[in-house]
Amino acid sequence: MKNEILEVTDLCKRYPDIYLDHIHFQLEEKKIIGLIGANGAGKSTILKLLLRIIDPDQGKIFFQGKDILVHKRMDYKRKIGYVGENIEFFSKCRLEKIKKFYQNFYPSWKENDFNDMLNKMGLKLNYKMEDLSKGMKMKFNLCLALSHHPALLLLDEPTAGLDPLVRNEILKILREQVEEYRTSVIFSSHITEDMEKISDELLFIHQGKIIDYCNTKDLISKNVPIDVYLESLINQMN
pLDDT at 1: 47
Written as tens digits, the pLDDT of the chain (238 aa) is 468 999 999 999 998 888 999 999 999 999 999 999 888 889 999 999 999 999 999 999 999 999 999 877 789 999 999 998 766 667 789 999 999 999 999 999 999 999 998 998 889 999 998 898 888 888 899 999 999 999 999 999 888 778 888 888 888 889 988 999 999 999 998 888 888 889 999 999 999 999 999 999 999 999 988 989 988 998 888 7
pTM beyond 0.85: the answer is: yes
Question: Residue 168 in contact with residue 180, Cβ under 8 Å?
Answer: no
What would the DSSP string read from start to end of 41-87? SSHHHHHHHHTTSS--SEEEEEETTEETTT----GGGGGEEEEES--
Torsion of CA 113, 114, 120, 124, to 10 degrees: -150
Rounded (to 5) percent helix, strand, coil in the chain = 40, 25, 35
